[in-house]
Structure 1
Amino acid sequence: MRFVPTLVHGVADYIVGIGMILLAFISGTEGSGFWAFILFGLLAIIYSLLTDYELGWKPVLTVPAHLALDAVFAVVMLVLPFVVTLSELLAWVSWVIGFMAAALVTTTRMAPNRTHAG
């Protein structure tokens, strides 16, 4: 059942992206783990900005395309602690983000709730 509005999903997208970047800096993680959190945080923000939903800037991606990218993002976040060296905190955060992203993929409405005048 898809009950999460795209507006709520969009807020989560930006919180996760910004949070990942901030955590990379404040966690003390170095090397590939640091750069992975920076890269995937930036990617989450970029493809959110390019999504055709309420918080998108330039509507290039449809919501279903965005959700497909989120599914890939979820898998990446779930396997990331096994691929790069992360602090214990970032490993847990990575798994939580992965599970939450997967949950949002399956529960977000497929179209934004927009009303068009005209």
Structure 2
Amino acid sequence: MRFIPTRFHGILDYVVGLLMIASPWLFGFADNAYATWTIVIAGVLALIQTVFTDFEVGIIKKIPMQSHLMVDFGLGVILALSPWMFGFADYVYTPHVIFGVFSILASLTTHRVPSRSYRTTTAHEEPLR
């Protein structure tokens, strides 16, 4: 069941991407390199992907929304499993699991196509009929 509009998903991507980047310092695990770099890189990738996605809040508009959602799903799985994959689960795992599961759920509940009004006003494509 997909109920999250693409515009809202994009706004969440920017907020959550920045929060992921800041989380090692916000949640006190910045002294663990693997835990820190895993979530920081995931946040940077989320922001870059959002900037390049062809939807309401994208800037460069090169990645289709369906591809964006597939990457969100894959990144979420990797992020949620990363504490055990990279061996820092004894130190910290909660932020990685929460952000990972959030990404998975967002990818499964967001509309696959931007709103009709966005598609008819996009300059680089023909209007929908």
State the TM-score, normalizing by the size of structure 2: 0.81
Task: Say what the alpha-carbon RMSD is for the aligned residues.
Answer: 1.7
Q: How does 1:1-118 map to 2 (within 5 A)?
A: 1-26=1-26, 27-29=28-30, 30-84=32-86, 85=88, 87-88=91-92, 91-113=93-115, 114=118, 115-116=120-121
Aligned length: 116
Percent identity over the alignment is: 28
5+ residue gaps, structure 1, are: none
Contact 2:65 2:114 (8 Å CA) reproduced: yes
Aligned equivalents of 1:24, 1:12: Cα separation in 2: 19
Contact 2:38 2:79 (8 Å CA) reproduced: no
5+ residue gaps, structure 2, are: none
Deviations 1:64-102 (A, max 9, x none): 0000100111111111111232643xx111111121111
Q: Quick one: higher RCO (CA 8 Å, sep 6+), 1 or 2?
A: 1
Aligned equivalents of 1:41, 1:73: Cα separation in 2: 10
Aligned equivalents of 1:38, 1:22: Cα separation in 2: 7
Contact 2:13 2:46 (8 Å CA) reproduced: yes
Q: Displacement of 1:42 after TM fit?
A: 0.4
State the TM-score, normalizing by the size of structure 1: 0.88
One-letter code of the match for 1:42? V
Q: Displacement of 1:17 after TM fit?
A: 0.9
- Which stretch shifts more, 101-110 or 56-65? 101-110
